Amino acid sequence: MATLSSLTSPLFFFSFALLSIALISASFSPIDHYLVNCGSHQPTTLDSDHRRFTGDATTSYLTTTESTSLSDPNPDPKSSPIYHTTRVFTRLSKYKFGIKNPGDHLVRLHFKRLSGGIDYGRAKFHVLANGFVLFNSLGMDMGGEFEAVKDYVIKVDADVLVVTFVPTDRSNFAFVNAIEVISAPNDLIADVAQYVSFHKNEKISGLLMNGYETMYRVNVGGWKVTPFNDSLWRTWVTDDEHIKSSDGSSKVHFGGRINYQEGGASREVGPDNVYNTARVIRSSGSSVPELNMTWTFPVIGGYKYLVRMHFCDIASIARGMLVFNVYVNNNLAYENLDLTEVTNGLLASPFYADFVVDGDSSGVLTLSVGPSNMSLPRAVDAILNGVEIFKINNSVGSFDGEICAHAVLKSWKKGNGNVMYPMLAAVFLLLIAFVIIHRRRTGVTDSVAWWRLPTEIPEVNLKYGNQLSSNKL
């Protein structure tokens, strides 16, 4: 408790000044910043992080000839309001976001199955963004409580970012609950990294050419970090699911100030709450433990992955005492990493190392840290504070399969572009709207037959296709 005398002491003002500087520098303001609640007519402010999402029905981002908005008649009050509405597309549809600040952008797509409702078995679609194939839903299990946040960093050279939803054909649909598009800080992705394989450990460059999909974002030894405490509104989960064995390691938490330095990891690279917790291997006796800490992450073959390991020496009692080895897929990736050396002699100063690896057929990516032959007894002999693993797009610009964005667009045109049924579409949308309103009024929750309507459209089309035609896409 602060007493009156401590409140008026010079020390108090000094620490208060430091705190204010920390708070000011914590705010990152992206130039391009779009938060869209899809299927909604009004803006929504999230309780969890105070961000305001605009409803897509009241903005001009969405260009489509056929879409409808659904809202959950009985939303779970504990779930975020961005998951209470969905926009459903039965044709190729685009959201266009003007870009003032070319370069890397964060793109986050939110998907959640609304309770009851439409037949999600027909949610079969691709999502594209400026030439990248972000994903397709074909292999996704949308049963039960489907919920997914897809998180990407992609480079935008154009003055517009176009996120395109492409149903596989007329009998299927695409949907999305919310979209975030945020300018990334310039230092988020570096152009060089260390490529590590069984045969090689070499510096590679050109990483800025690629797009990245976040597969894992882990706060090692710490708690879950929510968007509220991350200047890029990211989520970091605990490492419980990934640590192979915690025997011989311990968790540490640091209550002091993290020393962010010019040129080192910035607060946007990793927030305080990631750097102020870690897992460590400690030697208490006169010998250095023969032990590694190991984490495993399921990955799929056929892609390269960017592995970012976050370090911050919050555990040593003095400088120059923490030297250890880093292994990626059991290959020595960084020998004798001396954290004092890479942080200009400052303790509690963050540092990260980027490695590129091939996702191999084993289906698992393994990371370890452990003492090296320069580690000291009676000291901390290995540490890890955080891990991020990103999938790198393949050579056709896809994060999900071998089909390029161009081919996805072409296949839609070929199979679906020749005829259009504006009247039938309008009837269909009205019916959906009617049933939703009806359901909301009556509070009926059981499944009703009209949900099968989307499947019936192609049959109607077969009958009337020759009479109603249009070549618009």
Ligand X SMILES: *[C@@H]1O[C@H](CO)[C@@H](O)[C@H](O)[C@H]1NC(C)=O
Residues lying near ligand X in the complex (CB under 6 A): 131, 209-211, 226, 228-229, 273, 290-292, 304, 327, 330, 335, 368, 370, 373, 392-395, 397
Cα–Cα distances in Å, from 380 out to 134, 259, 295, 324, 384? 42, 19, 19, 9, 11
Smallest gap from residue 292 Cβ to ligand X (A): 4
Nearer to ligand X, 68 or 229 (CB): 229
Smallest gap from residue 231 Cβ to ligand X (A): 12
Nearer to ligand X, 162 or 291 (CB): 291
Beta bridge partners of 182: 33, 106
How far is C-alpha 191 from the chain's CA centre?
Answer: 20
Dihedral of alpha carbons 406, 411, 413, 416, sign: negative
Placement of tokens 């986050």 in the chain:
108
Residue 29, token pair as written in the block: 């303001």
Conformation bin of residue 161: beta by default, left when phi > 0, alpha when psi is -120 to 50: beta
Nearer to ligand X, 167 or 386 (CB): 386
DSSP label of 287: S
Conformation bin of residue 263: beta by default, left when phi > 0, alpha when psi is -120 to 50: left
Smallest gap from residue 98 Cβ to ligand X (A): 22
Residue 247, token pair as written in the block: 């025997």
Placement of tokens 């894992």 in the chain:
216
Nearer to ligand X, 71 or 296 (CB): 296
Q: Using CB atoms, what's the residue nearest to ligand X? A: 397
Smallest gap from residue 132 Cβ to ligand X (A): 7
Contacts of 57 (CB under 8 A, 6+ apart): 39, 40, 41, 69
Nearer to ligand X, 47 or 141 (CB): 47
Smallest gap from residue 252 Cβ to ligand X (A): 15
Smallest gap from residue 453 Cβ to ligand X (A): 38
Map residue 406 onto helix, strand or coil.
helix
How far is C-alpha 112 from the chain's CA centre?
Answer: 15
Placement of tokens 């970090």 in the chain:
225
- 146 exposure class (CB count in 10 Å sphere: 0-12, 13-18, 19+): middle
Nearer to ligand X, 89 or 334 (CB): 334
- 294 exposure class (CB count in 10 Å sphere: 0-12, 13-18, 19+): middle
Nearer to ligand X, 264 or 397 (CB): 397
Nearer to ligand X, 72 or 272 (CB): 272
DSSP readout, 290-311? ---EEEEEE--TTSEEEEEEEE
How far is C-alpha 69 from the chain's CA centre?
Answer: 25
> b/e per residue, 34-73, with b = 16+ CB within 10 A?
bbbbbbbeeebebeeeeeebbbbbeeebbeeebbbbbbbb
Q: How far apart are CA 144 and CA 313, in angstroms?
A: 43
Smallest gap from residue 294 Cβ to ligand X (A): 7
Smallest gap from residue 384 Cβ to ligand X (A): 13
Nearer to ligand X, 38 or 274 (CB): 274
Nearer to ligand X, 137 or 273 (CB): 273
Nearer to ligand X, 144 or 255 (CB): 255
Smallest gap from residue 454 Cβ to ligand X (A): 33
Smallest gap from residue 158 Cβ to ligand X (A): 13
Please give the backbone phi and psi of residue 195, each rounded to the nearest 5 degrees, phi first.
Answer: -85, 125
Residue 110, token pair as written in the block: 């939110």
Nearer to ligand X, 29 or 395 (CB): 395
Say if residues 452 and 435 touch (Cβ distance below 8 Å).
no
Smallest gap from residue 222 Cβ to ligand X (A): 9
Smallest gap from residue 303 Cβ to ligand X (A): 8
Beta bridge partners of 280: 250, 383
